[in-house]
Amino acid sequence: MTPNILAYAFAFPVLGIFLGLVYKGIDRRVSARLTSRIGPPIRQPFWDVGKLLLKETVVPENAISWLFNAMPLIALASSMTLLLYIPFGVLKAPLEGYGDLIVVLYLLTLQSLAMAIGGFASGSPFSSVGAQREMVLMMSYEMPLATVIVGFALIYRSFSLTTIASTPVWSIVGPIAGLGVIMLFIALLIVTPAELAKLPFDIAEAETEIAEGMLAEYSGRNLALFYLSDAVRGFAMAALEVVLFIPFTLSSIFNLNLTGASLYTVEALWFLFKVLVVYLLAVTLVRTSFARFRIEQASRIFWVYVNIIALVGLALVWMGV
Protein backbone atom coordinates (compact mmCIF):
# COMPACT_ATOMS: atom_id res chain seq x y z
CA MET A 1 0.00 0.00 0.00
CA THR A 2 1.13 3.56 -0.72
CA PRO A 3 1.48 6.08 2.16
CA ASN A 4 -1.68 7.89 0.99
CA ILE A 5 -3.73 4.69 1.12
CA LEU A 6 -2.36 3.89 4.57
CA ALA A 7 -3.27 7.40 5.74
CA TYR A 8 -6.79 7.02 4.34
CA ALA A 9 -7.11 3.56 5.89
CA PHE A 10 -6.38 5.08 9.30
CA ALA A 11 -8.39 8.28 8.82
CA PHE A 12 -11.59 6.77 7.41
CA PRO A 13 -12.50 4.63 10.47
CA VAL A 14 -11.65 7.48 12.88
CA LEU A 15 -13.73 9.91 10.81
CA GLY A 16 -16.46 7.25 10.61
CA ILE A 17 -16.67 7.05 14.42
CA PHE A 18 -16.98 10.83 14.68
CA LEU A 19 -19.57 11.09 11.91
CA GLY A 20 -21.49 8.08 13.18
CA LEU A 21 -21.88 9.70 16.60
CA VAL A 22 -22.83 13.05 15.04
CA TYR A 23 -25.48 11.42 12.85
CA LYS A 24 -26.75 9.47 15.85
CA GLY A 25 -27.10 12.75 17.72
CA ILE A 26 -28.94 14.36 14.81
CA ASP A 27 -31.20 11.31 14.58
CA ARG A 28 -32.16 11.58 18.25
CA ARG A 29 -32.69 15.33 18.01
CA VAL A 30 -34.87 15.17 14.88
CA SER A 31 -36.84 12.22 16.25
CA ALA A 32 -37.58 14.20 19.39
CA ARG A 33 -38.72 17.22 17.36
CA LEU A 34 -41.02 15.02 15.26
CA THR A 35 -42.74 13.87 18.47
CA SER A 36 -42.98 17.40 19.95
CA ARG A 37 -40.09 16.97 22.38
CA ILE A 38 -36.93 19.03 22.78
CA GLY A 39 -34.60 16.06 22.75
CA PRO A 40 -30.95 15.73 23.78
CA PRO A 41 -28.18 17.89 22.27
CA ILE A 42 -26.44 16.54 19.17
CA ARG A 43 -23.28 15.98 21.24
CA GLN A 44 -25.13 13.61 23.62
CA PRO A 45 -23.76 10.38 21.99
CA PHE A 46 -20.22 11.57 22.70
CA TRP A 47 -21.13 12.02 26.36
CA ASP A 48 -22.78 8.61 26.44
CA VAL A 49 -19.64 6.90 25.11
CA GLY A 50 -17.44 8.82 27.54
CA LYS A 51 -19.66 7.86 30.47
CA LEU A 52 -19.67 4.19 29.48
CA LEU A 53 -15.89 4.12 29.15
CA LEU A 54 -15.57 5.40 32.73
CA LYS A 55 -17.91 2.78 34.17
CA GLU A 56 -16.90 -0.65 35.43
CA THR A 57 -17.03 -3.52 32.93
CA VAL A 58 -18.95 -6.36 34.55
CA VAL A 59 -18.78 -9.93 33.24
CA PRO A 60 -21.65 -12.20 34.38
CA GLU A 61 -20.70 -15.20 36.49
CA ASN A 62 -22.28 -17.66 34.05
CA ALA A 63 -20.81 -16.04 30.94
CA ILE A 64 -18.15 -17.49 28.65
CA SER A 65 -15.87 -14.59 29.52
CA TRP A 66 -13.42 -14.65 26.59
CA LEU A 67 -16.25 -14.88 24.05
CA PHE A 68 -18.34 -12.33 25.92
CA ASN A 69 -15.46 -9.81 25.87
CA ALA A 70 -14.35 -10.54 22.31
CA MET A 71 -17.67 -9.87 20.57
CA PRO A 72 -17.76 -6.08 21.14
CA LEU A 73 -14.26 -5.82 19.64
CA ILE A 74 -15.27 -7.89 16.61
CA ALA A 75 -18.43 -5.82 16.15
CA LEU A 76 -16.53 -2.52 16.17
CA ALA A 77 -13.72 -3.88 13.99
CA SER A 78 -16.19 -5.14 11.37
CA SER A 79 -18.04 -1.81 11.32
CA MET A 80 -14.81 0.19 10.96
CA THR A 81 -13.51 -2.15 8.26
CA LEU A 82 -16.78 -1.64 6.40
CA LEU A 83 -15.86 2.02 5.89
CA LEU A 84 -12.67 1.03 4.06
CA TYR A 85 -14.73 -0.37 1.16
CA ILE A 86 -17.04 2.63 0.67
CA PRO A 87 -15.92 5.60 -1.49
CA PHE A 88 -16.14 8.95 0.30
CA GLY A 89 -17.22 11.68 -2.09
CA VAL A 90 -14.72 11.62 -4.96
CA LEU A 91 -12.15 9.75 -2.85
CA LYS A 92 -11.73 6.08 -3.68
CA ALA A 93 -12.17 3.54 -0.91
CA PRO A 94 -8.83 2.61 0.73
CA LEU A 95 -9.46 -1.11 0.08
CA GLU A 96 -10.91 -0.56 -3.40
CA GLY A 97 -10.38 -3.66 -5.48
CA TYR A 98 -10.17 -6.11 -2.58
CA GLY A 99 -13.69 -7.58 -2.65
CA ASP A 100 -16.09 -4.68 -2.31
CA LEU A 101 -19.81 -5.58 -2.35
CA ILE A 102 -19.37 -9.23 -1.36
CA VAL A 103 -17.15 -8.26 1.57
CA VAL A 104 -19.55 -5.45 2.50
CA LEU A 105 -22.40 -7.97 2.78
CA TYR A 106 -20.19 -10.21 4.93
CA LEU A 107 -19.14 -7.35 7.25
CA LEU A 108 -22.73 -6.19 7.71
CA THR A 109 -23.69 -9.71 8.72
CA LEU A 110 -20.66 -10.11 10.98
CA GLN A 111 -21.65 -7.18 13.20
CA SER A 112 -25.13 -8.61 13.83
CA LEU A 113 -23.66 -12.08 14.33
CA ALA A 114 -21.19 -10.73 16.90
CA MET A 115 -24.03 -9.24 18.93
CA ALA A 116 -25.97 -12.51 18.78
CA ILE A 117 -22.96 -14.59 19.85
CA GLY A 118 -22.26 -12.12 22.66
CA GLY A 119 -25.85 -12.53 23.82
CA PHE A 120 -25.61 -16.33 23.85
CA ALA A 121 -22.23 -16.15 25.64
CA SER A 122 -23.59 -13.95 28.45
CA GLY A 123 -25.57 -16.77 30.05
CA SER A 124 -28.60 -14.51 30.54
CA PRO A 125 -32.08 -15.74 29.51
CA PHE A 126 -32.97 -12.24 28.30
CA SER A 127 -29.86 -12.13 26.13
CA SER A 128 -30.50 -15.62 24.77
CA VAL A 129 -34.03 -14.69 23.73
CA GLY A 130 -32.70 -11.51 22.10
CA ALA A 131 -30.00 -13.46 20.28
CA GLN A 132 -32.55 -15.98 18.98
CA ARG A 133 -34.71 -13.14 17.70
CA GLU A 134 -31.71 -11.52 16.03
CA MET A 135 -30.82 -14.74 14.22
CA VAL A 136 -34.41 -15.16 12.95
CA LEU A 137 -34.56 -11.51 11.84
CA MET A 138 -31.13 -11.70 10.20
CA MET A 139 -32.19 -14.73 8.13
CA SER A 140 -35.22 -12.71 7.03
CA TYR A 141 -33.62 -9.45 5.85
CA GLU A 142 -30.37 -10.81 4.41
CA MET A 143 -32.19 -12.30 1.41
CA PRO A 144 -33.48 -8.99 -0.02
CA LEU A 145 -30.14 -7.34 0.80
CA ALA A 146 -28.30 -10.00 -1.20
CA THR A 147 -30.84 -9.60 -4.01
CA VAL A 148 -29.99 -5.90 -4.27
CA ILE A 149 -26.30 -6.74 -4.56
CA VAL A 150 -26.99 -9.33 -7.27
CA GLY A 151 -29.00 -6.72 -9.16
CA PHE A 152 -26.04 -4.33 -9.26
CA ALA A 153 -23.71 -7.16 -10.25
CA LEU A 154 -25.99 -7.83 -13.25
CA ILE A 155 -25.93 -4.17 -14.29
CA TYR A 156 -22.20 -3.51 -13.89
CA ARG A 157 -20.83 -7.02 -14.37
CA SER A 158 -18.74 -6.14 -11.34
CA PHE A 159 -18.91 -6.03 -7.54
CA SER A 160 -16.65 -2.96 -7.33
CA LEU A 161 -18.16 -0.06 -5.41
CA THR A 162 -15.68 2.32 -7.03
CA THR A 163 -16.95 1.32 -10.49
CA ILE A 164 -20.54 1.77 -9.35
CA ALA A 165 -19.82 5.17 -7.77
CA SER A 166 -18.00 6.48 -10.85
CA THR A 167 -20.88 5.63 -13.21
CA PRO A 168 -24.36 6.40 -11.80
CA VAL A 169 -26.72 3.49 -12.33
CA TRP A 170 -29.44 5.77 -13.73
CA SER A 171 -27.22 6.74 -16.66
CA ILE A 172 -26.71 3.18 -17.93
CA VAL A 173 -30.12 1.53 -17.51
CA GLY A 174 -33.20 1.76 -19.70
CA PRO A 175 -36.81 2.32 -18.54
CA ILE A 176 -37.45 -1.33 -17.59
CA ALA A 177 -34.18 -1.79 -15.70
CA GLY A 178 -34.62 1.67 -14.18
CA LEU A 179 -37.96 0.59 -12.71
CA GLY A 180 -36.20 -2.48 -11.35
CA VAL A 181 -33.51 -0.31 -9.73
CA ILE A 182 -36.24 1.80 -8.07
CA MET A 183 -37.77 -1.37 -6.61
CA LEU A 184 -34.35 -2.49 -5.38
CA PHE A 185 -33.91 0.92 -3.73
CA ILE A 186 -37.28 0.58 -1.99
CA ALA A 187 -36.33 -2.90 -0.75
CA LEU A 188 -33.00 -1.63 0.61
CA LEU A 189 -34.68 1.30 2.37
CA ILE A 190 -37.01 -1.14 4.14
CA VAL A 191 -34.09 -3.40 5.06
CA THR A 192 -32.06 -0.50 6.52
CA PRO A 193 -33.79 -0.09 9.92
CA ALA A 194 -33.75 -3.88 10.38
CA GLU A 195 -30.05 -4.06 9.52
CA LEU A 196 -29.41 -1.31 12.07
CA ALA A 197 -31.77 -2.81 14.70
CA LYS A 198 -33.94 0.32 14.83
CA LEU A 199 -37.68 0.61 15.34
CA PRO A 200 -39.87 -1.03 14.19
CA PHE A 201 -37.34 -3.86 13.85
CA ASP A 202 -35.46 -3.56 17.18
CA ILE A 203 -37.18 -6.77 18.30
CA ALA A 204 -33.95 -8.37 19.52
CA GLU A 205 -33.26 -5.46 21.90
CA ALA A 206 -36.81 -4.67 23.02
CA GLU A 207 -36.24 -2.75 26.26
CA THR A 208 -39.77 -3.12 27.59
CA GLU A 209 -39.95 -6.85 26.84
CA ILE A 210 -36.51 -8.41 27.32
CA ALA A 211 -34.48 -5.65 29.00
CA GLU A 212 -32.26 -4.76 26.00
CA GLY A 213 -32.04 -8.42 24.94
CA MET A 214 -28.56 -9.23 23.64
CA LEU A 215 -27.05 -6.23 25.45
CA ALA A 216 -28.76 -6.88 28.79
CA GLU A 217 -25.55 -8.03 30.51
CA TYR A 218 -23.12 -5.65 28.80
CA SER A 219 -21.73 -2.63 30.61
CA GLY A 220 -18.77 -0.28 30.71
CA ARG A 221 -16.19 -0.57 27.94
CA ASN A 222 -17.92 -3.50 26.23
CA LEU A 223 -21.21 -1.63 25.94
CA ALA A 224 -19.35 1.46 24.69
CA LEU A 225 -17.79 -0.63 21.90
CA PHE A 226 -21.20 -1.92 20.84
CA TYR A 227 -22.53 1.65 20.97
CA LEU A 228 -19.70 2.85 18.70
CA SER A 229 -20.22 -0.09 16.39
CA ASP A 230 -23.90 0.78 16.03
CA ALA A 231 -23.08 4.42 15.27
CA VAL A 232 -20.45 3.55 12.65
CA ARG A 233 -22.66 0.95 10.98
CA GLY A 234 -25.53 3.44 10.77
CA PHE A 235 -23.35 5.92 8.90
CA ALA A 236 -21.83 3.18 6.71
CA MET A 237 -25.24 1.76 5.73
CA ALA A 238 -26.54 5.17 4.66
CA ALA A 239 -23.28 5.87 2.81
CA LEU A 240 -23.59 2.55 0.97
CA GLU A 241 -27.08 3.47 -0.24
CA VAL A 242 -25.79 6.84 -1.47
CA VAL A 243 -22.98 5.15 -3.42
CA LEU A 244 -25.35 2.64 -4.99
CA PHE A 245 -28.32 4.86 -5.83
CA ILE A 246 -27.34 8.55 -5.50
CA PRO A 247 -23.67 8.76 -6.57
CA PHE A 248 -24.09 12.03 -8.50
CA THR A 249 -21.37 14.55 -7.72
CA LEU A 250 -22.06 18.26 -7.33
CA SER A 251 -19.45 19.00 -10.01
CA SER A 252 -21.29 16.90 -12.60
CA ILE A 253 -24.72 18.34 -11.73
CA PHE A 254 -23.72 22.01 -12.01
CA ASN A 255 -20.68 21.60 -14.29
CA LEU A 256 -18.41 23.10 -11.66
CA ASN A 257 -14.77 23.46 -12.59
CA LEU A 258 -13.25 22.46 -9.26
CA THR A 259 -9.80 21.08 -8.64
CA GLY A 260 -7.57 20.17 -5.74
CA ALA A 261 -8.68 20.83 -2.17
CA SER A 262 -11.83 22.73 -3.21
CA LEU A 263 -13.04 19.71 -5.21
CA TYR A 264 -12.51 17.28 -2.33
CA THR A 265 -14.08 19.64 0.23
CA VAL A 266 -17.20 20.46 -1.79
CA GLU A 267 -17.79 16.85 -2.82
CA ALA A 268 -17.21 15.57 0.73
CA LEU A 269 -19.80 18.02 2.12
CA TRP A 270 -22.24 17.07 -0.66
CA PHE A 271 -21.68 13.39 0.10
CA LEU A 272 -22.31 13.93 3.82
CA PHE A 273 -25.50 15.84 3.03
CA LYS A 274 -26.80 12.97 0.89
CA VAL A 275 -25.93 10.48 3.62
CA LEU A 276 -27.80 12.61 6.17
CA VAL A 277 -30.91 12.75 3.96
CA VAL A 278 -30.90 8.96 3.49
CA TYR A 279 -30.27 8.43 7.23
CA LEU A 280 -33.21 10.66 8.19
CA LEU A 281 -35.56 9.04 5.67
CA ALA A 282 -34.59 5.39 6.21
CA VAL A 283 -33.98 5.45 9.98
CA THR A 284 -35.25 8.53 11.80
CA LEU A 285 -38.59 8.97 10.04
CA VAL A 286 -39.35 5.23 10.11
CA ARG A 287 -38.53 4.64 13.78
CA THR A 288 -40.52 7.71 14.78
CA SER A 289 -43.58 6.69 12.76
CA PHE A 290 -43.98 2.99 13.62
CA ALA A 291 -44.32 0.90 16.75
CA ARG A 292 -42.26 -2.24 17.22
CA PHE A 293 -43.34 -5.29 15.20
CA ARG A 294 -43.56 -8.76 16.65
CA ILE A 295 -40.91 -11.18 15.42
CA GLU A 296 -43.36 -13.16 13.26
CA GLN A 297 -44.68 -9.93 11.72
CA ALA A 298 -41.19 -8.74 10.85
CA SER A 299 -40.23 -12.11 9.36
CA ARG A 300 -43.39 -12.16 7.25
CA ILE A 301 -42.71 -8.62 5.99
CA PHE A 302 -39.23 -9.55 4.74
CA TRP A 303 -39.85 -13.10 3.53
CA VAL A 304 -43.00 -12.18 1.65
CA TYR A 305 -43.40 -8.51 0.79
CA VAL A 306 -39.82 -7.18 0.72
CA ASN A 307 -38.56 -10.31 -1.03
CA ILE A 308 -41.25 -9.94 -3.69
CA ILE A 309 -40.29 -6.29 -4.24
CA ALA A 310 -36.58 -7.18 -4.47
CA LEU A 311 -37.09 -10.22 -6.73
CA VAL A 312 -39.41 -8.35 -9.09
CA GLY A 313 -36.84 -5.55 -9.20
CA LEU A 314 -34.11 -8.08 -9.96
CA ALA A 315 -36.23 -9.64 -12.75
CA LEU A 316 -36.82 -6.21 -14.31
CA VAL A 317 -33.09 -5.44 -14.14
CA TRP A 318 -32.31 -8.80 -15.79
CA MET A 319 -34.83 -8.10 -18.56
CA GLY A 320 -33.54 -4.58 -19.16
CA VAL A 321 -29.78 -5.07 -19.24
Closest CA to 141 of 197, 88, 219: 197
Supply the pLDDT for residue 278: 95
Backbone angles phi, psi at 91, to 5 degrees: -80, 135
Point out which residues pair with 91 in neighbouring strands.
88
Residues 146-153 have a mean pLDDT of 91
Read off the pLDDT of residues 81-97 as tens digits, 9 standing for 90 and up. 888 888 887 788 887 77
Prediction pTM value? 0.91
- The C-alpha atoms of residue 288 and residue 29 are separated, in whole angstroms, by 11
Give dist(CA 187, CA 94) in Å, integer. Answer: 28
Q: Tell me the residue range of the domain where 156 lies.
A: 3-320
Summarize pLDDT for 33-64 with one digit per residue, the tens. Answer: 998 898 899 999 999 999 999 998 888 888 88
Confidence of residue 306 (pLDDT cuts 50, 70, 90): very high
* pLDDT, tens only, 8-25: 777 888 888 999 999 999
Write down the pLDDT at residue 181. Answer: 95
Rounded (10°) angle between helices 44-54 and 3-34: 110
The pLDDT score that the predictor gives to residue 99 is 64
Query: Is the predicted pLDDT of residue 121 greater than 80, yes or no?
Result: yes
For the residues 124-131, what does the mean pLDDT come to?
85
**Count of domains forming the chain:** 1
DSSP state of 157: S
Q: Are 83 and 13 in contact (CB under 8 A)?
A: yes
